[in-house]
Amino acid sequence: MAERIIILGSNGQIGTELVAALRKKYGQAQVVASDIRKPQSVAGDTPFELIDVLDRKALHLLFTQYRPTQVYLLAAVLSATGEQHPRQAWDLNINGLLNVLDLSMEYAVKKVFWPSSIAVFGPHSPKTDTPEYCTMDPTTVYGISKLAGERICEYYHNRFGVDVRSIRYPGIISWKAAPGGGTTDYAVHIFHEALKHNTYACFLSADTTLPMLYMDDAIRGTLALMDAPADQICIRSSYNITGTSFSPAMLAGAIRRHLPDFTITYVKNDPRQAIADTWPSSINDAEARRDWNWSPRYGLAEITADMIVNLKKTTNGKSI
């Protein structure tokens, strides 16, 4: 039977590229993109549906119409935005997940993907080489909702047999789509500003080291997880994965190898710094490597070179 895939939250940073990857793999008509807003353009043979994941009736009609075999739930309020609107973040991140899990059970969806985040870790989690299992005491509503979501996913698998799979994404870096309000977004904006103005005012301190993942690796890892046989998926909360770790100063140094006159300054007292200070500086992803052969391909040098080459081609250095 052909796969029928629904992606909820398809307009975001990850969703934009995941839609393209899944359509390349399964065919244009087999992948239904959906979001609360229309994208800038929709081709005639690429189905798109307006949907609010909190509207259970509309979501039910969507499942009835398409009878999906796979569902990817990407709709979420991210870390920095969530601190401005905590009730909204909790409602979307938790109740949207519950709606999708309930309908996936009702419609016997074969596989469900839901992303978690390194935001589940907190000030008492190990800062370096943070393991899969450790103290998790998130300090943001985003992190709290993701930790609760992990437990909900595990519960629905153990209690109801829903084949739900998850990755704890670190910061995601991409040249194709704008970021969506996360604390690690500096690592995307810096490239746009470097090409446009040759300088960047960073909201994180020079030595704030965080785990990062290039979008190509994020998409490849997500597809690999979803392709793995169910009996190889030993973790039903969420898997650690990572690509590389670096600080704003390290990233600025890598950019200078391509743009020698680039300069960076640091803005003090930005609220995103307090969020970043509670997150790990590096991640241990041994379980993902063991269970479904995860391995990243992009390090700092490769990320920097690819971002600059592609942004020069596509945006002429214009800022997001």
In this structure, the chain runs to a length of 320
100 has pLDDT over 90: yes
317 has pLDDT over 50: no
Q: 34-43, 44-53, 280-289: lowest mean pLDDT where?
A: 34-43
Which whole number is the average pLDDT over 296-309?
A: 97
- pLDDT the model gives residue 319: 46
Is pLDDT larger for residue 319 or for residue 74?
74
225 has pLDDT over 60: yes
Chain mean pLDDT for the chain? 94
Tell me which H or E stretch contains 99: helix 96-106
43 has pLDDT over 70: no
**Under CATH, which architecture does the 5-171+213-240 domain have?**
3-Layer(aba) Sandwich (3.40)
**Pairing of β 164-165 and β 199-202:** unpaired
Q: Are 212 and 246 in contact (CB under 8 A)?
A: yes
286 has pLDDT over 80: yes
199 has pLDDT over 70: yes
At residue 40 the predicted structure's pLDDT band, cuts being 50, 70 and 90, is: confident
- Would you give the distance in Å from CA 229 to the centre of its chain? 22
- pLDDT the model gives residue 45: 64
Given the residues 66, 72, 107, 142, the one annotated as active site:
142
pLDDT digits (tens, 9 = 90+) for 155-178: 999 999 999 999 999 999 999 876
- pLDDT the model gives residue 44: 57
Share above pLDDT 90 across residues of the chain, in percent, rounded to a whole number:
88
Which whole number is the average pLDDT over 298-311?
A: 97
* CB-based burial, 8-40: b 16+ in 10 Å, e otherwise: bbbbbbbbbbbbebbbeebeeebbbbbbeeeee
At residue 56 the predicted structure's pLDDT band, cuts being 50, 70 and 90, is: very high
Q: How far apart are CA 69 and CA 104, in angstroms?
A: 9
In one-letter notation, the amino acid at residue 209 is T
- Would you give the distance in Å from CA 260 to the centre of its chain? 31
Angle (CA) 141 147 152, round 5°: 120
241 has pLDDT over 50: yes
- pLDDT the model gives residue 28: 94
78 has pLDDT over 90: no
DSSP classification of residue 184:
G
- pLDDT the model gives residue 182: 78
- pLDDT the model gives residue 41: 66
Name the nearest CA neighbour of 240 among 252, 262, 225.
225
Domain boundaries, the chain: 5-171+213-240, 175-211+245-282+298-314
| Residue 66 annotated among the catalytic residues of the structure | no
